[in-house]
Amino acid sequence: MRKNKTAKLLVLDDIDKSIIQELQIDSRQSYLSLGKKIGASEGTIRNRVKLALKSDVFKLRAEVNPAKIGFDFSCVIGMEIAIDKLHEAESALFEIPNVYFLATSTGAFDLIAILIFRSTYEFDSFMRGKIAKLPGIKRTQTFVNMSLIKTPWNDNVPIKKLMGD
């Protein structure tokens, strides 16, 4: 893993990509077993993982499957917000655990969020109690997810395909 000085990006080599791919399968593997699978020393694996974690290339953590713990209602919501209230609305939404994903965007909406709930009742309560009271909210459009086809908790980013290998 080399640092690209101009863009402050890390350039992943084949060893790095293989480490990521293996950790996506089982993040509890030892550095020794990873090294044997990849064909690198335990020390190389340890150093690469340490640098990747420090550089925020990936995180090792438990990924919760919301549907398995009762949060099987999800939706995407686009929100148009008054520009002078955008940061305030972002901050308010950031603190809400039902907001699974939040991003500013271009186009018809200023904010896009993925929301998770246990029921339509919870969703309705959220819309009335949180979204309707957001600072600067002008309008929303909601897209209820009927079935989830590709999700972070079921599908890993195919690092080698993504990077053109």
Instruction: Tell me the fold of 2-62.
Output: Arc Repressor Mutant, subunit A (1.10.10)
pLDDT digits (tens, 9 = 90+) for 84-126: 999 999 999 999 999 999 999 999 999 999 999 999 999 999 9
CA distance 76 to 101: 9
Question: Residue 19 and residue 48: Cα distance in Å, rounded?
Answer: 8
- For the segment 129-140, the average pLDDT, to the nearest whole number, is 96
Query: Is 137:131 a contact under the CB 8 Å cutoff?
Result: yes
User: pLDDT tens digits for 3-15?
Assistant: 444 446 778 899 9
Which residues, in sequence order, are bridge partners of residue 74? 116
Phi-psi region of 39 (alpha: psi -120 to 50; beta: other; left: phi over 0): left
Hey, where are the domains in the chain? 2-62, 66-144
Reported residue count of the chain is 165
Q: What is the pLDDT of residue 122?
A: 97
Specify whether the CB–CB gap between 48 and 15 falls below 8 A.
Answer: yes
User: For position 165, what pLDDT does the model report?
Assistant: 65
- CATH code of the domain occupying 66-144: 3.30.70.920
Q: What are the two backbone dihedrals, phi and then psi, of residue 76, each rounded to the nearest 5 degrees?
A: -110, 135
d(C-alpha 127, C-alpha 134), whole Å: 10
Q: For the segment 142-156, what is each residue's pLDDT rounded down to a tens digit?
A: 999 998 888 877 777
